[in-house]
Structure 1
Amino acid sequence: MKARIFLTIIFALFLVTSQVQASENQSDESVSDEAIDQLIQELGNSNTTIKSNAAKSLVNIGDPAVEPLITALNDENYDVRENAALVLGKIGNETAIEPLITALSEQEWEETQEEEEFGRALETALGSFGEPAVEPLAEFLKEKEYSHSVGHAIAALEPIGEPAVPVLVQLLYTELRVEAAYHLRMIGEPAEDYLIPLLSDANPQVRDRAAEALIGTTNPDAIEPLTKLLDDENEYARNKARRALEIMENQSPETESFLYGREREFFVEDEKREWLSSLEPIVKGRSEYIMPYFYPDGPVIGYGLNFQGYLIVDLLIGSEVNESLMAEIYSVIDEEALKNGVEEVPVLFSFESMPVPDEAVDEDVAIDGSLELTTSTNTLNEPLLKGFMSMILIILIIGLLLSRKT
């Protein structure tokens, strides 16, 4: 009898486990094409909540939604295009990389706000794929002159980091050197081993941009070539080398970024835009509350919005800054934010150097996409949780039966 009951338990557990696995395997694939198409159209709804919920549902559906989302990159509704790109980035299926680059290259770029927003979404999506996107982006950038599409493609390489450095270094030898140098500098330490040898390059413009990209470095291997560059024929290279050496001499060892407050996650761009609009009054006109902390009276050299959804505070490299001072500055900003109805406002502190005058630099320092912080949470799969609960229930019932038999 006990052997039969034991076999019954094993069989019951096998059935429950099989049901759970079947549920996991079929949950997303069972969504109909019509349901996916409906969710994609809701990405263009005028209601932000409906858009966001549709985006979350499509991310949860995953791979079955990829092809319809790729098709939606050409939708007549710009909101559908924009949010389809972002959802593809969040799903992370690599088959979307080439279509996203194609969408970037085929934009007419009449400099409308909608087109720029779509370009930003494509840039964000491509950057989220990481290393698999590097080679396709490099191929797209070959022998290109600057354009909106090219600018977004170069910017997409920055969040990828070290795997993208060789591509950006090669761009220093092209007409895209200004943009490449900026993003190499934002990548920072992973780019230094590539950049230091370029301080002695035969091309004066490459020496110039390599020195610019190394402003803020603490790498001792850069000291000698930067010192030699002080006698360079290129005036801009001399100025940047001088600035880099000055910063190295006075630099604080702590040059990482610090986030205070609560980070927000956005599934569609309208959520982000509404959020940024709520932050604009806080930074408008460099408000008086932050002025006492500005250089030369304090360490702050920049204050504005980052399009990822943060207030950003740039601190001068080499200035005396500690956690206590950052906490003090944050409390002042947070108090102002509360007056505007924003709780736990996210503020990103980063260390920067004073800008170096240049012949032609067109960079948006106040609002840029160079910093993208991510958080992750571990969640238990719902079907799996239900399966475990069922197994526990079966074990309890059989246990009661066994106790009665004895």
Structure 2
Amino acid sequence: MSLSMAARLIQFSALASMATMTNVTQSLPSLAYSCAQMQENEAKAAKASGLEMWTLMSRAGQAAYHTLRVHLLQGTKPNHITVLAGKGNNGGDGYVVAEAALKDDINVLLGQVGDHMSLKGDAATARDRFLAAGGVITPIDDAFTIPDDTDAIVDGLFGTGLSREIRQGPFTRAIDLASKSKAKKLAIDIPSGLHGDTGNVLGTVLSADATITFIGVKKGQFTGKAPQHVGILYFAGLGVEQAFDEIVSSPAAELVAFNRVRHRFMPLRPLAAHKAAFGKVVLLGGNNGMSGAIRLAGEACQRTGSGLTRTLTHPASQQAVMFGRPELMVTAAQDVNAFSHWIDWATVLAVGPGLGQDDWAQGVLRLFLKHASKPSVVDADALNLLAKSPQHNPHWVLTPHPGEAGRLLGIRCPCT
């Protein structure tokens, strides 16, 4: 065995040992929390688990370092990393990452926003350990730069506590420099500039290739603009996640993953069952030139367990729907009253995909409204028509995108 291969095996062994300690996973918990819930209960969970807060910071930093080395850089040892540290505990996590990198003989540029001597508590402890390991702190000012040859950037500027727009200054300079760099980027807890509850961008944001979050996942990692900036989300419970879940009895949200709920909606079927035992779905839409959405909606019904599925479309769309998905039943009519029999026949209705807003579409919606007592999904242009003459029905599920939601609520959506 060559020396280089032996060194690489030792390196991977060390990374595997770190994985055991940090327990970083891409499998996310189903419960999501607000920033306030995290801030109010993190210390309680640590105490209930018999851990000091410094232990949590140390574990968080080690988990971030593990994510950087094993997941983001895929086991390749970097020559140089840049760590951007803010003024709070998120910056403290960054110092732990930087110390771990130094101990692995990796060159580290640690950029600090503000006076590093103003750091307090565990963040100050992390800073002192970094300095004791031979680290050097570089202030993020007008002269600060990120080297072109840096292999990775660790974002420890802001945590989930950010709630207002970032003002021009060292923080925006650090984010701008990182954004222009070709290096891989890892965000600690949440990309700096994202609101931890809404996922909205607070002025500017550092888009990450990966984010490592701790103890519990946060709402703002999934909503708003978050999917565009979070990258691959990793989770480390730090050994207190169970205590935290027990302390916070009412999470802010639940993540719905198909593999977790499919047993509720697609239970095992009796061997002697037949298609008529599993409901009849009728979809209304597919106006002239808009056959795609109704065809996809019909296919989705079939794939998720509908016994019988029929689409009611404009005559100009009939052939396109039938050729695209021949197992769908398709009825087409210019006179929408011809659809009445099939609406009566249905167990469940869905209206809107490819509906349009012309006279034919308005006639379809009027016909649908006469059968409003049936369980129904109201989507797309049916929502736009509904916004012009609002009404509520407890049997409906509305599925608007932000623009449609804005029209229903009578407000302007900035995304449209």
Task: Give the TM-score, by structure 2 length.
Answer: 0.28
The structure carrying a bigger helix percent of its residues is 1
The structure carrying a bigger strand percent of its residues is 2
Task: Give the TM-score, by structure 1 length.
Answer: 0.29
